[in-house]
Amino acid sequence: MCGIIGYIGNRNAMPILIKGLNRLEYRGYDSSGIAVMNDSIQVHKTIGKIQDLESILPDQIDGTMGIAHTRWATHGGVTDNNAHPHLSMDKDIAIVHNGIIENSSAIRKILENKGIIFNSETDTEVIVHLISLARKEGLDPLDSVRSALQVLRGTWGLCVMFHDLNQIICARNGSPLVIGLGESEMFISSDPHPLGEHTQKVVYLEDGDIAVVSNDGLSTHRIEGSTDHKVVTIEEQWGESELGDYPHFMLKEIHEQPEAIRQCISGRTLLSEGTARLGGLNMSKRTMKAIPHVRLIGCGTALYAAQVGRLAIEHLARVPSFAHVASEFRQNDPVIDPKALHFAVSQSGETADTLAAVKYIQENDAKVRGVINVVGSSIARQCGHGVYIHSGPEQAVASTKAFTNMVAALNLFALQIGRSRNLPRAAGRSLVKAMRELPSQTESIINSSAPYMDAVQAIKDAKSVLFLGRGFSAPVAREGALKLMEIAYIPCLAYPAGEMKHGPIALLEEGSPVVVIAPDDIQRDKTISNIQECKARGAKIILIHTEGDNIAEHGDVCFTIPPTEESLSPMLSVIPLQLIAYYTALELDRNVDRPRNLAKSVTVE
Ligand code: G6P
């Protein structure tokens, strides 16, 4: 979703901004734009990709200060005019903005009555006109931004550039903004990712902050009053984020799973004790023993990982656990028990619904721990404590390696809390051993010559695809359906296998593809019955099963996974599903990494 990049220093701003935009591309966007300070503010913007923007840029724009943006449309269609930056009527002030201004229609009417002519349908444009009016009334730049923000309701991460000022003014409320401190140059970004190549020293703005950024430093202020800021050194070294030899980020990230799992579990398991240690949780054994229940909250893939996690916690630790859709959480008036443990599960750490749920829980006097990939992200900071899943940068919109690592991290937690309660040491040791096998097992699945093209042929022209699984495989079915639906645009339905006969069975006809996840666990025999029910109605079964299991005779196209512990099987069984989705999308000529209408980081509720 929308991204911001800003630069002020002694170098030419344009190439730095374009590179920054490329680094933000993974968030999802439909247009982009750039404003560079020359004699006047020069703005270039267009719908489409960053390459489309580059193709309309002059060879050179001299100017050492600029702001740029990738837009994911919310208010107003995907048009050149709606792309950011937006200018004041006299073109003396430019703005880029992430977030949503909820009272923009009312403000727009008032401004139109004052004679302001709008150039776009966006909510953002009201801000730049408000600032411009305030300046004309004699306020200085900082106070003109402050006075505009005081009338806004909603969320913002924004940068404002004035033609007569060698400073960029930024503000944050609900949409993240981070300032990178260089040598006589400063960078501004909506996430730390583009800053890594320039500096490790950053300042995270807090909600309600305004920052005045110049070449040699920054001062931070509040919408009301003033503040000091804290410089943080980013410890996380993001891995290689270029495509390398892969045709798509999704394929690259699927292949990175063995290494990502290694990163996630390394140093966190203790074989002799048969347990795990997650220091970032900041929880004593005593506290763990007293937890009455666990709630896990997330969206999309993170939600399905949370559903696996809740099963693992109940299975290994016998603590009641629940997984919740973040966007439904606070609206449903949940009972919050301050003694309960809450987890916010999120790859980006920026998902607005998840963040809102975190704040709601905290307002109700309970603590929330993060299960997060992006270090220093909004949710991670809001939670304060938690588990980083250490997947490295995930750029394809369809999440893959974050799912496996969320499941790994939640298994580590389930093991730790299980051992602090009644899980026997021997059971803990088996789980640790099984976990340590996962990197090589995932590698063997990825490198096997499985019949992907047969699965693609069975699926690609289907009216719909049904995904079935029981127990730990039910959330995997949902995740497999989500993957195929989001990148191949095929309607997919995921059901607990036993529930299939209460509805989806009506969809089945000759040749209907049904993907069944049936590892060798206690659910296996019942799942075989459901396979029979599907086959009796002409369905074609695409089966994921454990190596060597004679269940294979029930499948039309079969994929195998190595044997593992029940709670870990989702990390293996999901991989063929990721690859089936990938190859089907390729066959249908879809944009695998940037599927239509979707965003990587969804920062609106
Ligand atoms: C978007 C992405 C999904 C992701 C979900 C939650 O919908 O397209 O891939 O699973 O957001 O994102 P999070 O960053 O919170 O895990």
The whole-chain average pLDDT of the chain stands at 93
451 class by beta-carbon count within 10 Å (0-12 exposed, 13-18 middle, 19+ buried): middle
The arrangement of secondary structure in 238-447, i.e. its CATH architecture, is 3-Layer(aba) Sandwich (3.40)
Query: What residues pair up with 220 in beta bridges, in sequence order?
Result: 211
One fold for 3-233 and 449-596: no
Pocket test for ligand 1, best of 378, 394, 600 (most atoms within 8 A of CB): 600
Between the CA of 143 and the centroid of ligand 1 the distance, in Å, is: 37
Q: Nearest C-alpha to atom 7 of ligand 1 is from which residue? A: 300
Nearest ligand 1 atom to alpha carbon 326: 15
Between the CA of 299 and the centroid of ligand 1 the distance, in Å, is: 6
pLDDT tens track for 237-250: 444 467 889 999 99
**Omega into 85 within 30° of 0, i.e. cis?**
yes
Neighbouring CB atoms inside 10 A of 113's CB total: 8
pLDDT of residue 153: 82
Q: What is the DSSP string of 394-443?
A: --SSS--HHHHHHHHHHHHHHHHHHHHTT--HHHHHHHHHHHHHHHHHHH
* Coil, helix or strand at residue 515: strand
Q: Provide the 8-state DSSP code for 117.
A: P
- How far apart are the C-alpha atoms of 363 and 336, rounded to whole Å? 10
Single pTM value for the model: 0.81
pLDDT of residue 237: 47
**Best CATH choice for the domain 449-596 from the list 3.40.50.300, 3.90.180.10, 1.10.3720.10, 3.40.50.10490:** 3.40.50.10490
- Outline where 421-523 has alpha helix (H): 425-447, 452-459, 473-488
pLDDT of residue 238: 45
Catalytic residue flag (residue 91)? no
CB 578 less than 6 A from any atom of ligand 1: no
Catalytic residue flag (residue 201)? no
pLDDT of residue 333: 93
Structural domain spans, the chain: 3-233, 238-447, 449-596
Picking from 128-132, 259-263, 306-310, 335-339, which range would have the lowest pLDDT averaged per residue?
259-263
CB 399 less than 6 A from any atom of ligand 1: yes
CB 27 less than 6 A from any atom of ligand 1: no
Between the CA of 600 and the centroid of ligand 1 the distance, in Å, is: 6
Q: Is the pLDDT of residue 522 over 80?
A: yes
Pocket test for ligand 1, best of 29, 296, 327, 348 (most atoms within 8 A of CB): 348
* Coil, helix or strand at residue 386: strand
Between the CA of 90 and the centroid of ligand 1 the distance, in Å, is: 40
Q: Which run of H or E residues covers position 157?
A: strand 156-162
Between the CA of 399 and the centroid of ligand 1 the distance, in Å, is: 7
Rounded average pLDDT over 103-132: 94
CB 301 less than 6 A from any atom of ligand 1: yes
Note the CATH number of domain 3-233. 3.60.20.10
pLDDT tens track for 336-381: 999 999 999 999 999 999 999 999 999 999 999 999 998 778 999 9
Picking from 485-489, 549-553, 584-588, which range would have the lowest pLDDT averaged per residue?
549-553
- How far apart are the C-alpha atoms of 317 and 289, rounded to whole Å? 10
Pocket test for ligand 1, best of 250, 387, 485, 601 (most atoms within 8 A of CB): 601
Q: Which run of H or E residues covers position 43?
A: strand 41-47
Q: Nearest C-alpha to atom 3 of ligand 1 is from which residue? A: 300
